[in-house]
Structure 1
Amino acid sequence: MASFRFSLGFGLFTLFLSLIFTLYIPLSANAQSLPPAPPPTSDGTSIDQGIAYVLMMLALALTYLIHSSSIL
């Protein structure tokens, strides 16, 4: 069975490292953040709606042409 020996050097290194992080983390929490991005001028819904209208008109025209030619 292996036993872990805690040396004084490792303990001091761990203590030093924890002090560095304790002092550094609060300072980095107050760092400047980037300003928020401006809102988009168009969310794309009007473009999508325009494409949908064009496709519906195309489907209506094709349906009319197909039905009118089958009557003759």
Structure 2
Amino acid sequence: MSPERLYALPVIGLVLLAILQVGYGQVMAPSPAPPPSSNGTVIDQGIAYILLGVALAITYLVH
């Protein structure tokens, strides 16, 4: 197994851990105001992030 693959797994794990911690911070924070209503921009942004991740993965695999 190449050294790049050995280093990639811990880095991916740390990134996922950081993302999970951000999610916990949002859930535990008290919110006095009601959550804002979505007008579709959140869905569009989510799709854009997914497409960006797919493009990054394809670029990594092709390279």
Same topology, TM > 0.5: no
Higher-Rg member (1/2): 1
Q: TM-score under structure 2 normalisation?
A: 0.43
Q: Which has the higher helix share?
A: 2
Q: TM-score under structure 1 normalisation?
A: 0.38
